[in-house]
Amino acid sequence: MGNPFGFMEYARMDAPADSVQERIRHYNEFHTPLSREEQKRQGERCMNCGVPFCQSGMKINGMISGCPLNNLIPEWNSLLSLGAMKQAFDRLKLTNPFPEFTSRVCPALCEKACTCGANGEAVTVRANEYTITEFAYSQGLAAPAPPKVRTGKRVAVVGSGPSGLAAADLLNRRGHSVTVYERSDRPGGLLMYGIPNMKLEKKYITRKLDVLHAEGVDFITCADVGTEEFPAQELLDNYDRVILACGASNPRDINVGGRDAQGIHFAVDFLKSTTAALLDNGLTDGTYISAKDKAVIVIGGGDTGNDCVGTCVRHGAKSVIQLEMMPKLPDERTESNPWPEWPRVCKTDYGQEEATAVYGSDPRIYQTTVKEFLKDESGKLRGAVLIKLERGANGRMVPVEGSETEVEAQLVLIAAGFLGSESYITRAFGVETDARSNVAAEPNSHRTNIDKIYTAGDMHIGQSLVVRAIREGVDCAKEVDADLMGYSNL
């Protein structure tokens, strides 16, 4: 412990963000990291608690509190504060295969459970993780380290999102030969095409993919497994084990009148088109779904909806509103939501902050949904009829009669979540699914009903966080390894 009084001597200091007017002119990350010395002081704020809820990753009242990866947070906070950066990275990598991702996109469940946050400002855990990781890359500590011995076992991983990559990384380090199949043109899954560049610059994904490839992981892109070109049986015939980590990529639709209007898109398609065009040609060829000069409605109040708002602002949208079915959450914890539970409070994210600055008001409209989409004579979207919602006797949100309003819209983005795995993949492999169309597995396991096939990530547990998907991949890899070898040292 570098300084036992650090939490009393130093105030929390976060990496400053570029101004709204500056950052909406580009698609890059927009926070300036603190100096190494200042980040060391932030590490000193860690109390090295006797009971570190930050690393617990347990459920309290149905919500996860602390890190799902059980990161050894007080240990590497202390090592950071002492300047022992290599040792800090070693401790970080013991539990987290991808700190370069989680230090950018994780909502920091650890910080919400930090003891300092019970009566003050939490430790800057995520920023500390970022500093340790980027130091490691700058000093060659994250360089490829291929396994010295191969087991002769072959594993196929279908899907290259965070869970698939985590499983591939651990199994390759164990010495198994791993091939990752990805149906898109670039590996990375959700990380590559589901998260905008300003939250996670794609060069950092490529950097890690290059390391994995140098360590022996093979990647096959444009490989839509489960189709005639890449039949499921071929993988079962050629590999000792198969891991399905295809994500919960079946978007929830809004089935109301006028849904067939031109100009209504799923959020995932909108975000992917922007990222692909940004990487391919710097958004110069006009192949992406553009919000420029359009009145935009984003349906859904989660992280994906916020990402759509921020992207539309950068496109140059005429206006943006974001519909949320539920009431606005309180600005501070209520007595029924005490620390260290996950705080159910209203969060204003970067996209909403930017839209407020550009358009003059918060884009969010609570307790509201679309009753009907309106088309012009040519079938193009021209507007929508919105309706207010209230909580009914059964606790569900129901429409308020007579509350309809009509708004202009030339673009609607549906960010209403996902329903689970896509049926053509599950049918191709013959795996059972549950009532939510997630792939079913044995209790406390990732083993499916089909011999040799395992599942991990959102395809297994439903739509969730990147950090939970990584944990899914880690746990699945351990189970597959034990199955192949009779034991596991992962």
Residue 273, domain extent: 264-414
Q: Are residues 230 and 213 in the same domain?
A: yes
Task: Provide the pLDDT for residue 101.
Answer: 98
The whole-number average pLDDT for the span 96-104 is 98
Task: Provide the pLDDT for residue 3.
Answer: 83
Task: Provide the pLDDT for residue 319.
Answer: 98
Residue 89 covered by a domain? yes
Enter the pTM of the model: 0.96
Q: Of 86, 114, 138, which residue is a domain's last?
A: 138
Residue 147 covered by a domain? no
Q: Of 399, 414, 429, which residue is a domain's last?
A: 414
Q: Are residues 215 and 95 in the same domain?
A: no
Q: Are residues 386 and 426 in the same domain?
A: no
Q: Are residues 181 and 303 in the same domain?
A: no
Q: Are residues 68 and 178 in the same domain?
A: no
Residue 7 backbone phi and psi in degrees, to 5: -65, -20
CA distances from 124 to 12, 38, 130, 268, 331 (A): 7, 11, 10, 30, 21
Helix (H) or strand (E) holding 356: helix 350-359
Q: Are residues 225 and 293 in the same domain?
A: no
Would you place residue 4 in the very low, low, confident or very high pLDDT band (cuts 50, 70, 90)? confident
Residue 305 covered by a domain? yes
Whether the link from the prior residue into 107 is cis, omega within 30° of 0, is no
CA 110 to mean position of chain CA atoms: 16
Residue 486 reports pLDDT greater than 90: yes
C-beta of residue 143 within 8 angstroms of C-beta of residue 50: no
* pLDDT tens, residue by residue, 11-42: 999 999 999 999 999 999 999 999 999 999 99
Residue 187 covered by a domain? yes
* pLDDT tens, residue by residue, 288-315: 999 999 999 999 999 999 999 999 999 9
C-beta of residue 33 within 8 angstroms of C-beta of residue 134: yes
* pLDDT tens, residue by residue, 321-377: 999 999 999 999 999 999 999 999 999 999 999 999 999 999 999 999 999 999 999
Residue 143 covered by a domain? no
Residue 2 reports pLDDT greater than 80: no
The whole-number average pLDDT for the span 153-168 is 98
Q: Are residues 23 and 81 in the same domain?
A: yes
Q: Are residues 73 and 47 in the same domain?
A: yes
Q: Of 110, 138, 166, which residue is a domain's last?
A: 138
Residue 1 reports pLDDT greater than 70: no
What six digits make up the tokens of 433?
A: 């699914």
The count of structural domains within the chain is 3
* pLDDT tens, residue by residue, 369-413: 999 999 999 999 999 999 999 999 999 999 999 999 999 999 999
Would you place residue 50 in the very low, low, confident or very high pLDDT band (cuts 50, 70, 90)? confident
CATH classification at residue 92: 1.10.1060.10
CATH classification at residue 167: 3.50.50.60
Provide the mean pLDDT of the chain: 96
Residue 145 covered by a domain? no
